[in-house]
Structure 1
Amino acid sequence: MATSPRVPTVTPSAAHLASIRAPLLAWYDRNKRDLPWRRTKDPYAIWLSEVMLQQTQVSTVIPYWERFLKRFPTALALASAPLDDVLAGWKGLGYYTRARNLHRAAQDIVSRFGGTLPSTAEQLLSLPGFGRYTAGAVASIAFGEEAPLVDGNVARVLSRLFEVEGLPGDREREATLWELAGLLVKGERPGDFNQSLMEHGATTCRPENPLCLLCPVREGCVAFKKGRVAELPPAKVRAAPKKLTLALAVWAHADTLLFARRADSGLFGGLWELPAAEVDEDATVEETTLRLTAALGTGVKLESLLGTVKRQLTHRDLTLRMYRVSGPKRPTHSAAFQELRWCTPAEAATLGMSTAMQRALDTVVGTQA
């Protein structure tokens, strides 16, 4: 059985580290983007930006961060808010586990730390949703701790600067990158230095077509000297997205529709939706009826197909089929969902709902207009 080559331990000299740290900080001072969370010293606001920026582009995050911060200006305000309000404020950002963890962490911050974020990475790691990266980011940027961080951009920069081998996700590679980040962050302005690494990876040391001629640390970049920039890091092989088809029950009563809240775990965990059941891509009407009946715990009759919505998620090709349904008994609870609720589409706008489900609801409302 073939094994991947061992990732060598990188032990840079003090001179090599210095040739990177000072020039990168100076470059950051001249070239950093003017982002709203860089204009504040509020640890809560900085934490919020770091969570939102995970898996989401800066241009998308800016208006969400501003709106969310206005709506929930402190950890106490966030902790005191109903989870539905928090999820509604997150609508459209995706990866809703981030919002649930924010809410849980805010409650921990209030109960354990008096509403003020703890100032060390070690303490931050004890909060829900705080991994090593988020703890390092908040501790260094908000509190000036010499705490390292490694995200995708930083991993790429360090891989090239120090010629770190290995595929993304390789345990020894990751340990080497964190060790290097820990060495580099020691010194003045650790928060700004960590941001300089991230900024450099986002704007200059890019995955494709890196701007090596504009790089302030190319003289210290081993990959540049050896002509290996395009090789490092090697691309991670991504699995093909899985197909997922959901049948949605559009059950109308008076001016209301039936909505369901999913279990906290799994796809769209904790969010509201038109009650859905997974079906085969080629499911018959009979099979779909059985799945929705089982999900709602009461007899369901499929009357017509109202429309189809397709969405490309990170790991799934999602198809939503909306069926007008009826039944002899309107359900008020179901073992398959946390909660069922009858409300108007306007009232549903205040619920935490995924972009895909909102698109399905908009399609349904359009067919009924």
Structure 2
Amino acid sequence: MAEWITSITNQHVRELSPYESARRLFSADENNSGQIWLNANEAPMSEDFSVNSALFNRYPDCQPQEVISSYARYAGISSGQVIATRGADEGIELIIRAFCEPGKSSVLICPPTYGMYAISAQTFNVGVHKAPLTDDFSLNLDAMGEYVDKVNVVFLCSPNNPTGTRIEAEQIVAVLNMFKDKALVVLDEAYIEFDADATQSALLSTYNNLVILRTLSKAHALAGIRCGFVLSNTQVCQTLMKVIAPYPVPAPVAQVAAQALNAEGIAVMYARVKTLQQGIDTIVKRLSQIDQLTLCGDTKANFVLFKTPYKNKLMAFLVSKGVIIRDQSKQHNLDNCLRITVGSEQENDILLSLIQGFFQEQAISSTKEPS
């Protein structure tokens, strides 16, 4: 980089490392069309939608009313409690921009968890404190309590990515009470359709420091349109509207989202979730038969996490066969861990056959080694 560009780059940005998204690590371009993508927690199938281009020459509504009202009805809250965003990632950024002061404020995260909470905070020169999950991936409430009065925002994820575990309701309530009148508690429910009974949206009427993140990327199979939602009380929503972009929801996105959120679209989503959960059950059953790996966490989302001392060799082997999963071993307390996104029945079968064959070969090789 030219020296003058470096000199005008913000100091905290110079020190940043970009988030290693699934697509940055492995690009899904047309040259890789034969590969099996099980690394980004996407749905393995898509649906057809109609788009009307008649008004594409006009700027879209900032908050498309049909989308907002449809999602409010789906979530069981009022329209004034919903903001549509460019994926849940924009929701994370809006919260940090609105409620954290650069160079002064901090947020609290509970690793291992979704990496964008920390990256977004660091991008805005906001500090990041950590209260790691316990060995069973539940919240460490004592550790979190040390940050009362020290943070403006607490990020929780349930079901958690990448552990697939649920934060129990009593722990969420404990955190809300712990930070009452002190900080916002942001509950990321990106995967909640896979653990629908555990949603905490009902708590929005009781706790004015609760913010919930949602998305159409996972169960709704619309990762490509980048549409998410922030759910909270009207005061928080009105504050976030002060910092949101003028036109955050493109017209084609709004049209597709509205179709996905009508009665037929919701029914299709529920059927998809049921199918994917059956796929998760199959993956767990077959991986459980392999002695050289250990299942980790839980399966409340659309992925399976496991640990193996052959992590590097297995990952390289799968990549060589055109099957892409996700290495999570850089995360706190996830040494030698890999994560599998549930795919189609055919994709799951190809993956599992490859994994089983790999470990059978490892077992044969070990018996040939001299003692």
Task: Check whether TM > 0.5.
Answer: no
Which gives a bigger RCO, structure 1 or 2 (Cα 8 Å, sep 6+)? 2
Report the TM-score, using the length of structure 2 for normalisation. 0.24
Report the TM-score, using the length of structure 1 for normalisation. 0.24
Q: Which has the larger radius of gyration?
A: 1
